[in-house]
Structure 1
């Protein structure tokens, strides 16, 4: 997993509330167990017509936001089923941080495990960031995990809270496997001692 320290990029405004995981990645795309390749199907039913053509009005189909790395979203983002494919699809598209007033708990935790930083801010601050995002690709937002701030294109800065352990994992690029690998020496020592103590196992 890539380390996350600071990010300056285009923020796409998605003011819809209750964007659920089925909207993020519809159920027909859940057959894969690979984390790559799902970005093309992100928000599939909102992005494409039935014939596969793009819906021009959808924000991520607009030229200014095709390379967005940040989403500024409405309340209760990521609600619905607990599918981990949702953060996989977001990450594969290129989204590295999502800002909202609230997230569904399972989705929120899955984001950290997949290298995405979800940020909770008060409604008034999210509205300011939403307006900033509407300026298009020339208005770049900066997310600073080290100092726990989000800064608009015109310099307004907002502080956010994040769990210290989750912050440590993102800063060091540690997913669940990476955390286990940090303990590899202790695991090897335990296995050697166990083999000596119980050679019949």
Structure 2
């Protein structure tokens, strides 16, 4: 394998409840790029929900599907045009996925918040995630992923902030302060 094509795409990473999908959709709209949620890409590719993949193939099987979907997305979509991509909470914790993104020169941005705020966001979400009900497991997973998350190119604190505030900060960080698609 020759590796992924170079990209200037923006990959939002972070723990569940960090706001990756919400921020990603708004950011993509602001800069005029397509938006992809890797979990949705996986579900379309595998024709099964993330929960169903975990149930039938276990975490190892899901991580293989996740890696294949990331590579396919980069080869089919991101080789043609830059995009904003929300990764699942565990995707960037996988060394192979980090290597792929780093090798391609992707812009990785950690959306971060204190554990207590992430727990609150997950508990208050319309679709409460099963892991959010297990406080000890939630905390351990958060701790396990911190080192990997620290390898993101940028970190944005989302604590106590509205989506639009976070989007504006990322747009400034990327050199696109307007609301049109002039950032290229």
Instruction: Give the TM-score band, short-chain normalised.
Output: 0.3 to 0.5
The higher-RCO structure (CA 8 Å, 6+ apart) is 2
TM-score (norm 1): 0.32
Q: Which has the larger radius of gyration?
A: 1
| Structure whose residues are more often helix by fraction | 2
